[in-house]
Structure 1
Amino acid sequence: MSTTIADTVLGRLEAEGRLLNSVLKGPTKKPGRIGFRGDIALKFQVKKADEARPPEISSDQVIAAAHADEPYLAFMCGFLVSFEYVKLLAEVLGDALAPQGKYFLFCDNIDISKRYQVDFGGATFYILPIDEATVYNELLQLLYLEKNDLKKLDTAGKVDAIADKAKGFDQTFPKISYEEGLALMGPVRNLYENRPV
């Protein structure tokens, strides 16, 4: 029996219409594991009639893995335009979060030289700055994964390699509360200004 998304905690997010723009949403090479690569909608826009509108707030560039026999998300990383949305993300994920899971959030408005740990919603989030690169590239650096080693793998294989390596991640960063993070965060920048068209 092959595992489907409905067999994992990602099934609820899929049923709620939150898993968007996916390049992977299904089984990986590991038995029982479902991988996701795409965006997670955190707050929907008000719909008029049946038009499909992009979410008002989302976590983009998400890479996640869940197992059929686990009631929580084993691994997740993603981009947030503002640290403030950690709360929204934790509320959306709800009981899919657990102390055993590994969760990495790259926030656009935290000091580029700082890294933090924030306990929220029964889980620990590693809060990291994003240095103009992609979440994927930043994560490979953080986990000491060689890009060239992953090049020959398909998307599912890459998610497996990242999720497996993240499982053993044991670095510690200064612990701050969510409220302290709010006080430390910088202004939210418009991601689309000064970009060549």
Structure 2
Amino acid sequence: MCNLQEVDRAPIHATAEGLPVTTIEKTATTIEKTALARLDHEGRLLNAVLKAPTTKPGRFGFRGDIALKFQTQVADEKRPPDFCIEQVLTIVEEGEPTIPVLAGYLHSFAYLGVVTDTIGDLLRPTGKYLLFCNNIDLLAKYCVDISGLTFIILPCDESTVWKETLDLMSIDKNDIKKLDTAGKLDYVLDALAKFEASYEPITFEQGLALMQPVKNRNENRPV
């Protein structure tokens, strides 16, 4: 028989509604205690697939878009941002002022300058930042140093950040299919945090000279 006194359980307390809640649930990490707090306050965290604590204590995860430039609003009219870091995958730790790892998509390499202007203060020199761009050569693989930060820049056309990151990390989707959304994010970004890239180093200015024209997303779409 199981001795109930020996079972390791989280203490249970009652909520105002009388429903039980564990200490773990009561102390779940909130975004206000993380490096994403400013972006959330500024309304930059959009289209969230996940915006919640992950499976690891003290960690908060986000999957969605980070707005980089807003359109001018008229009165109370809300307009979508001019452009974003799209399909963002990131995790942050409670109490830490910077983002340790992030992956995302930029429709133009030129937006990298706006990335550093907008969230550069939330990144760290030792962080791992992977950005897929639509307007660089499909065979190109770069490491770009800008403002003391290093970004891995890879091409992406008609794919997704999630799929490309799994491929880059050699993660089989069957290995994570039983995990929930937060668990999958933990698994993939823990792998990305350990990833070591040895791609061609270029400056931001060199990247601007090498980048191709920005593709029209609406081209060839049915009317």
What is the TM-score of this pair, normalised by structure 2?
0.85
State the shift of 1:168 in Å.
0.8
Instruction: Give the whole-Å Cα distance in 2 for the aligned partners of 1:33 and 1:122.
Output: 25
Amino acid at match of 2:183: G
Q: Which has the higher contact order (CA 8 A, sep 6+)?
A: 1
Q: After TM superposition, give the deviation of residue 158 of structure 1 in Å.
A: 1.2
Query: Hey, what's the Cα distance between the residues in 2 that align with 1:105 and 1:196?
Result: 29
Give structure 1 regions of 4+ aligned residues with deviation exceeding 2 angstroms. Answer: none
Larger radius of gyration between Structure 1 and Structure 2: 2
Higher alpha-carbon deviation: 114-123 or 79-88? 114-123
Q: Which residue of 144, 149, 154 maps to 2:175?
A: 149
TM superposition shift of 1:196: 4.7
> What percentage of aligned pairs have identical amino acids?
54
CA contact under 8 A between 2:152 and 2:197: conserved in structure 1? Answer: no
1:85 corresponds to 2:93: no
C-alpha displacement of 1:195: 3.3
Distance 2:150 2:95 in 1: 21
Q: Match for residue 187 of structure 1?
A: 213
- Report what 2:51 is aligned to: 25
Aligned partners of 1:61 and 1:52: how far apart in 2?
21
1:78-98 C-alpha deviation (Å, 9 max, x unpaired): 111100000101111121110
Structure 1: give runs of 5+ residues left out of the alignment: none
Q: Is the CA contact (8 Å cut-off) linking 1:97 and 1:121 kept in structure 2?
A: no
Say which SS state the counterpart of residue 124 (structure 2) adopts: coil
Q: Give the aligned partner of residue 13 of structure 1.
A: 39
Cα drift, residue 61 of structure 1: 0.7
Q: Does 1:129 align with 2:155?
A: yes
Which residue in 2 is equivalent to 1:98? 124
Q: What's the RMSD between the two structures over aligned residues?
A: 1.1
* Count of aligned positions: 197
**Whole-angstrom CA distance in 1 between matches of 2:181 and 2:217:** 26
- Normalised to the residue count of structure 1, the TM-score between the two structures is 0.96
Amino acid at match of 2:79: R
Residues 156-175 of structure 1 aligned to structure 2 (within 5 Å): 156-175=182-201
Residue of structure 1 in register with 2:102 after alignment: 76
Partner Cα separation in structure 1 for residue 78 and residue 214 of structure 2? 26
